[in-house]
Amino acid sequence: MRGVRTYLDWNATAPLRPHARAAMVAALDVAGNPSSPHSEGRRARAIIEDAREKVAELVGARPADVVFTSGATEANNAVLAGGWERILVGATEHDSVLAPARKSGAWLLDIPVDAQGVVRRERLWAALAESAGARALLSLQLANNETGVLHPLAECADLARQHRLAIHSDVVQGAGRVPIDIAALGVDYLSLSAHKIGGPKGSGALVLREGARLPSLLTGGGQERARRAGTENVVGIAGFGAAAEAALGEVRAMERVRLLRDGLEREALAIAGEAIVIGAGADRLPNTSCLAVPGTRAETLVIALDLAGVAVSAGAACSSGKVSASHVLGAMGLSRDVAAAAVRVSLGPTTTERDLWVFLTAWAEAVGKRRSRAVA
């Protein structure tokens, strides 16, 4: 049907959930400041605390340990700027971890990954041993945003605890897609973003392990238990809470998404025999596929698919629409030819078999045109 779009870029932003939209619209009608003691203020405060409980439940935390932020980027920056003497980061971390780590002034150690994109345990162990005795932090994402590859986070956190390091994880891509429990993972800090789970853009959270300490993110008021000053984004937080509640209920249903993803990959490889699935040999998120046809340009494929009504990404969608070389794929040791061809397809709970058919039809046409030009 003309004008109908097929959205397969859930890792960039999940569509706003109707439940989250309804919660936000209702919050718009609440006039009170959540710090005010009158009835209107208490109504606004109740919205925030209800959302706090739902976000906490999503990651198995106490509500008191959830600090609302403007997003995972702020949460990541807050942790990385914590005055650490040493910071250990995975080589495939998101830029919102790598950039503040480099800026922190700490002694920075990059932990390499293997060809599948999984952190190399022996290199991590050596770096941990080297950092023992220092005020040090390990920051390791749960799942990579470009490939969907999962790190053995609980195992790595256990190693880090043995050397008395603090542990932070950006879990934004895993939330709502795999079970997350902050205690089971053994980490001290988790970063979340509402728009990855069907909430509004511009709302997120930093979740602390019980007893974990962190300097105030912002000062000038007593909000968020004096950990982040400023009047809270009541509307955004309301939508975040509603999205977290819905996402938690969908984790068990992600096997359907995995089956769709696996079918998409089989058909995409059948259409383009030279295509590869990056990270296919590792445990991955059930919704993510990073496909590459050597000799193509990712931006060309993205444009061709977009013109056919299909939205996908070339790597991370965090650079104002710019397409540049992926440090993630480079860290995995992939050639420039393969890295330049990588397209990320990410599914969601409402993705249908028809969506995949539309994608595969457009994929076949885009790859076929490339072959025709090569023959000519």
Q: What is the CATH number of the domain that holds 230?
A: 3.40.640.10
Domain that includes residue 271, residue range: 6-15+253-375
DSSP states along 16-66: PPHHHHHHHHHHHT--S-TT--SHHHHHHHHHHHHHHHHHHHHTT--GGGE
CA pair distance 186, 156, nearest whole angstrom:
9
Encode the chain (376 residues) as per-residue pLDDT tens digits: 457 899 999 999 999 999 999 999 999 999 999 999 999 999 999 999 999 999 999 999 999 999 999 999 999 999 999 999 999 999 999 999 999 999 999 999 999 999 999 999 999 999 999 998 899 999 999 999 999 999 999 999 999 999 999 999 999 999 999 999 999 999 999 999 999 999 999 999 999 999 998 888 888 888 888 889 898 999 999 999 999 999 999 998 899 999 999 999 999 999 999 999 999 999 999 999 999 999 899 999 999 999 999 999 996 444 445 556 799 999 999 999 999 999 999 999 999 999 999 999 999 999 976 544 443 3
> Both 215 and 104 in a single domain?
yes
> Both 193 and 302 in a single domain?
no
Please indicate whether residue 156 is annotated as part of the active site.
no
Q: What is the Rg, in whole angstroms, of the alpha carbon atoms belonging to the chain?
A: 21
3-state secondary structure (DSSP) of residue 227: coil
Question: Where does a domain end: 250, 270, 299?
Answer: 250
User: What's the domain count of the chain?
Assistant: 2
Is position 123 within any domain? yes
Question: What are the phi and psi torsion angles at 344 (to 5°)?
Answer: -100, 125
Determine the distance from the C-alpha atom of residue 202 to the mean position of all C-alpha atoms in its chain, rounded to a whole number.
Answer: 14
CATH classification at residue 257:
3.90.1150.10
Indicate the residue type of 61. Answer: A
CA pair distance 45, 181, nearest whole angstrom:
26
Selection from 126, 114, 108, 118 nearest residue 148 by Cα = 118
Strands, E assignment, the chain: 6-7, 66-69, 86-90, 107-111, 136-139, 166-170, 189-193, 204-208, 276-277, 288-292, 310-311, 342-346
> Both 161 and 117 in a single domain?
yes
- Give 164's contacts (C-beta < 8 A, 6+ positions apart): 132, 133
> Both 313 and 335 in a single domain?
yes
Is position 1 within any domain? no
> Both 10 and 52 in a single domain?
no
Q: Any idea how long the chain is?
A: 376
Check: CB of residue 156 under 8 Å from CB of residue 119: yes
CA pair distance 20, 192, nearest whole angstrom:
16
Catalytic-role residue among 230, 318, 337, 369: 318
> Both 292 and 332 in a single domain?
yes
> Both 271 and 242 in a single domain?
no
User: pTM for the whole thing?
Assistant: 0.93
Residue 20, token pair as written in the block = 């989250």
> Both 231 and 271 in a single domain?
no
Residues of the chain by 3-state class (helix, strand, coil), percent to 5: 45, 15, 40
Neighbours of 337 (CB within 10 A): 11
Check: CB of residue 308 under 8 Å from CB of residue 333: no
CA pair distance 31, 37, nearest whole angstrom:
13
> Both 162 and 198 in a single domain?
yes
Tokens 């511009």 belong to 202
Half-sphere exposure for 272 (CA within 13 Å, toward CB): 26
Is position 105 within any domain? yes
